[in-house]
Chain A
Amino acid sequence: MSTDTRPPPSQFAAKLRRAVGGRAGWGGFALQILFVAVLAWIGYEIVANARANLQSERIASGFGFLSNTAGFDVSQTLIPYSGSDTYSRVFLVGLLNTLLVSVIGIVLATVIGFIVALGRLSPNWLLSRISGAYVELIRNLPVLFQILFWYLAVLSALPNPRQSIALFDGFFLNSRGLFIPKPIAGSGLEALALAVLAAIVSVILLRQYARWRLFNSGKAITIWPYVIGLLVGLPLLAGLVFGKPFTLEFPQLKGFNFAGGARVIPEFVALTVALSLYTAAFIAEIVRAGIQSVNKGQMEAGASLGLSRGSTLRLIVVPQALRVILPPLTSQYLNLTKNSSLAVAIGYPDLVSVFAGTTLSQTGQAVEIIAITMGIYLLLSLVTSAIMNFYGWRISRSMGT
C-alpha cells in the first residue's frame, strides 16, 4: 500500500482573496471595484462637462497653445529663453525656477532647523532661549508677510547700481542683485574636472580604509590632512600642468546696470531666505521632538562609553530619532515646495507666476493650465515623498527593525 502524500491544498485562491478583498472577502472586492468605477465615472463626467461647456461658449480649449509663441520675457532663466520661444519653454523655465528655490530652500531649512533644534536642547540657557524665541517668532507669522519683509527690507537697504557696494574685485551688490564674475570654460577645464573626481574617489576610498582599520584593529588613523591635501592638491596640480581651467568674465557698469558676469536676483534671495527660515522653525520643533523621543538612557549610555556629547548625538541619538523625524519632515519639505508659489508677490518668476499667471492670462486657457500646474505640484510632492520614504526604509533596515 503506497502512502502517497497528498499535495497541500493550493493557497493561491485564498491568498488572492485576502489581498484584494481584505477581511470582507470577494464581496468587499466587488464593492471596491464599484467604488473605483463610480469615482472614474464622476471624473469623466467632470472632464466631459467642462469640455462641452467650453465648446458651447467657444472658449479656446486643448493643449495646442503650448506650441504658440509666448512673446514675453522672464527675469531669471536657467535655460536659454527669449520672448520668441513657446509657452512650453516658459513652462520649463518656470518649473526650473520653482525647483531651484525648493531644492536650495529644503537644504537650507534642514541645516538651520537642525542647528536651532540642537540649540534649543542645549544646556546653555542663553542659546536655548534664543532658539526658542526664533521658533516662536518665525512660525507664528504668516509666511507671505515674511517674504514681503525680506524682499522690501533687503531692497530698501541696497543702493542703486551707480552706487553699488563693491566687494573684493568683481563682486558688486546693488538693488538689482548680486553681480559676480562668471567663469568661462578654458583649455584646462576637463583636466580639472578629472582631478576633482579623482580626489573625491580617493577620499572615499581612504575613508573606507580608515573605517576598516578601526573595526579590525581598533586603531583610529587621522585622515583629514590627507583629505585636504588630495582635495586641494590634485586640482591645483591639474591647473598648473594643463593651464587655466576657466577665465572670469567680470561685470561692468553699462548704462542703467551691470553687463556681463553672473547675477543672483534679489527676488530669489528674498524668497529662499524667507521660505528657509520659516520652514526651519517647524523643522526645529520636529527634530527636537524626535531627539526627545529617544530614551534618556541612550544619552547616558553614550556618555558612559566616553563619547562626547556631539558624538553621542551624531552616532546614537540622531539615527534613532530619524525614525520619528522623517515623516513630519517630509511634510515640511512638501510645504516649502508648495509655499514657493507665493513667489508672484515679489516678482520671482516661478511656475505659478509665469505659467499659471502670465501664460494663463495671455491664452485664457484656465482649465488646462491650472490642471497642468496642479499635476506638476502633485508630481513634485510625490517624488519628494518617495525619496524620503526610501531614505526612511534604508534607515529602518540598517537598524534592523
Chain B
Amino acid sequence: MKRVSLVFILALSVGLSTQMASAQTLKTVTDRGILSCGVSQGLPGFSSPDDKGNWTGIDVDVCRAIAAAIFNDPSKVKFVPLSAKDRFTALQSGEIDVLSRNTTWTLSRDTSLGANFTGVTYYDGQGFLVKKSLKVNSALELNSASICVQTGTTTEQNLADYFKSNNMKYEVIAFGSADETVKAYESGRCDVFTSDVSQLYAERLKLANPADHVVLPEVISKEPLGPMVRHGDDQWFDLVKWVLFAMIDAEELGITQRNVDDMAKSDKPELKRVFGTDGNLGEQLGVTKDWVSRIIKAEGNYGEMFDRNVGAGSKLGIARGLNQLWNKGGIQYAPPIR
C-alpha cells in the first residue's frame, strides 16, 4: 500500500497545487539552501547508501556536482529515494528538483512526461544474468525460460520485443523493487534476471555466491541513462546539462581533483575560459565564474567519478567501454565550454 499511496499523494498534488513547477528552479533551490535530488532505492555504483548512511554512486555525484556549482558545497543535497514507478511523478509534482536515477532516455519519456533529459551520464544496455549451472552461453538459448524483471522500467518492453523478434517463448514475473526481483531470482523462481548490464553487475555482488552467476554477452537494447528536469525552466535545464558537460570536458582537458588549483592558474586561453578567469561563462549559467573549479574540487572529473563508483576503483570493476571519452575509443563527448 505504501507504494500506491505515494503515487496517490503525488498525483493529488498535481491536481491541488496552483502552480506546479515554478519556472525559477535555480532561485527556489538557492533560497531553500538545499538541492532535492531523486535517486534510486539502492543500486550500487549509481546511487546507494553506504554503511554510514552516506549516498554514493554516479547519479549521486552528479547531484553533488550541481550543489557544488550552486552552493560551493557538495553536501547541500537532500537525496529522495524513489522506486522506478514513482520517479516521474515525483519530478512532475515538484517533490524533487532533478531526477538522477539511472533513467533511460527515450522519445516517449522525453515528450510525454513534461520533463527533459539533460545528457547521458552512462551508456548502458539491457542484458541477462543467469546461473552458470544452467550452462547457457547465449541469450538465444533462453527459449521457454522464466525471467524476473523490475516493473516500471524500459526492461519489460525490450524483453517482449527481443523474444518476439527471435520467436522465443518466455514467462515474465515483474516485481515492484530491485531487491524483491533479485530475491526471487536467487530463490530459483526464475532462470534469468534481466536489467541494464551495469545493474546486473551491481546486483550480482549482492548474491550469496556471485561467481556462480554470469552475465550473457548479448546486449539487447540501448539504454542511455541520464538526469531529468521539468519542462519550462530553460535556465535550470542548461545548468544541469552543463554541470555534466563540464565534468566530461574536464577529463578531456586533463583537469583532475588533484591538479585543479594548478590548472586554474594556467595561461592557456581555453583553460582561462573554463575557470572563469576570462569571460563570464558561469554567470551566464546563473552561477559563479569559478563553477568548474567548484565542481571538480568537490567531485573530480567524469573519469574520476566513473572509476570511483563503477570502474576499476570500485567493487563493480566495469570497463569504461562506451563510456570512454570520444578521443579514446568511447562515445562520451561534451560540447566545448566557450
B 157-171 to A, binary, CB cutoff 8 A, 1 in contact else 0: 101110010000011
Task: Chain B residues near A176: list those with CB within 8 A.
Answer: 146, 171, 189
Knowing A53-B14, A367-B11, say if A58 contacts B184 (CB, 8 Å). no
Instruction: Write out the residue numbers on chain A whose beta carbons fall within 8 Å of the beta carbon of B153.
Output: 361
A155:B152 contact, CB within 8 angstroms: no
Verify B15–A257 contact, CB threshold 8 A: no
Q: Is the CB of B20 within 8 A of A53?
A: yes
A344 and B181 alpha carbons, distance in the complex (Å): 10
B114 touches A59 (CB 8 A): yes
Q: How far is the CA of A56 from the CA of B7 in the complex (A)?
A: 21
Q: Are B173 and A75 in contact (CB under 8 A)?
A: yes
CA distance A83 to B232 in the complex (A): 35
Q: Do B175 and A57 have beta carbons less than 8 Å apart? A: no
The answer to whether A363 and B112 touch across the interface, beta carbons within 8 angstroms, is yes
* Min CB–CB distance B56 → chain A (angstroms): 26
Nearest-Cβ distance from residue B38 to partner chain A, whole angstroms: 14
Interface string of B1-19 (1 = CB under 8 A from A): 1011001101100111110
Cβ–Cβ contact A367 & B15, under 8 A:
yes
**Residues A54 and B143 in contact in the complex (CB < 8 Å), given A46-B16, A73-B156, A155-B188:** no
- Would you call B15 and A46 a contact (CB within 8 A)? yes
Query: CB distance B175 to A345 under 8 Å?
Result: yes
Q: B161 touching A57 by the CB < 8 A rule?
A: no
Tell whether A116 is near chain B: CB-to-CB under 8 Å.
no
Q: Contact: B112 with A59, CB < 8 Å?
A: yes
**How near does chain A come to B152, taking the closest CB pair, in angstroms?**
4
A256 within 8 A of partner (CB): yes
Partner of B88 from the list A254, A352, A364 (CB cut-off 8 Å) is A364
Q: Please, which residue of chain B has its CB at the minimum distance from the CB of A143?
A: B1
- A360, B114: Cβ atoms under 8 Å? no
CB-CB under 8 A for A175 and B188, given A49-B15, A346-B180, A366-B92: yes
Q: Which residue of A lies closest to B3 (CB)?
A: A344
Cβ-defined partner of A59 (8 Å) among B4, B16, B92, B160 = B92
**A70 CB to nearest B CB, Å:** 9
Within 8 A of A (CB), among B1-60: 1, 3-4, 7-8, 10-11, 14-18, 20-21
0/1 per residue, A289-303, Cβ < 8 Å to B? 000000000000000
Q: Give Cα A374 to B9, complex, Å.
A: 13
* Known interface pairs A257-B144, A357-B85; A370-B11 also in contact (CB < 8 Å): yes
- Chain A residue contacts of B148, Cβ below 8 A: 347
Min C-beta distance of B264 to chain A, whole Å:
40
- A361 in contact with B152 (CB, 8 Å): yes
Q: Is A205 an interface residue (CB 8 A)?
A: no
Indicate if the CB atoms of B175 and A54 lie closer than 8 Å: no
- Are A73 and B152 interface neighbours, CB within 8 A? no
| Distance from B139 Cβ to chain A, minimum over Cβ atoms (Å) | 13
Question: Which residues of chain B from 216 to 233 have any CB-CB distance to chain A below 8 Å in the complex?
Answer: 230-232
- Is A325's beta carbon under 8 Å from chain B? no
**Contact indicator per residue, chain B 285-328, by CB within 8 Å of chain A (1) or not (0):** 00000000000000000000000000000000000000000000
**What's the dominant secondary structure at chain B's contact region?**
mixed
Set of chain B residues within 8 Å of A363, measured between Cβ atoms: 108, 112
Q: How far apart are the CA atoms of A155 and B186 in the complex, in Å?
A: 10
Query: Contacts A54-B14, A175-B187, A364-B109: A346 and B160 contacting too (C-beta < 8 A)?
Result: no
Please state if B113 and A364 are interface contacts (CB–CB under 8 Å).
Answer: yes
Q: Per a CB cutoff under 8 Å, which of B113, B159, B189 touches A155?
A: B189
> In the complex the two chains form, is B171's CB within 8 Å of A83's CB?
no
Shortest C-beta distance, B213 to chain A (Å), equals 15
The CA-CA distance from A168 to B191 in the complex, in Å, is 26
CB pair B10 A75 closer than 8 Å: no
Q: Is A345 in contact with B187, judged by CB distance below 8 angstroms?
A: no
User: A59 — nearest CB in chain B belongs to which residue?
Assistant: B114
- Which of the residues A158, A175, A370 comes within 8 Å of B8, measured between beta carbons? A370
Q: A71-B161, A72-B156 are in contact. Are A57 and B1 (CB under 8 A)?
A: no
Residues of B within 8 A of A364 (CB): 88, 108-109, 112-113
Smallest Cβ distance from B157 to chain A, in angstroms?
Answer: 5
Within 8 A of B (CB), among A60-116: 60, 71-75, 83
Docked Cα-Cα span, A398 to B170, in Å, equals 54
B145 within 8 A of A: yes
With a cutoff of 8 Å between Cβ atoms, the chain A residues found around residue B156 in the complex are: 72-73, 358, 362
| Interface residue from A58, A256, A338, A354 paired with B114 (Cβ < 8 Å) | A58
Pick from A56, A357, A363, A371 the residue with the most CB of B within 10 Å. Answer: A357
B144: chain A residues within 8 A (beta carbon): 254-257, 259
The reply to whether B188 and A156 form a contact with Cβ atoms under 8 Å apart is yes
Residues of chain A having any CB pair with chain B under 8 Å: 46-47, 49-50, 53-54, 56-60, 71-75, 83, 151-152, 155-156, 158, 160, 175-176, 254-257, 259, 266-267, 338-339, 341-342, 344-347, 349, 352-354, 356-358, 360-367, 370-371, 374
Known A-B contacts: A176-B146, A344-B175. Give 4 more (CB < 8 A). A46-B15, A54-B14, A364-B88, A364-B113
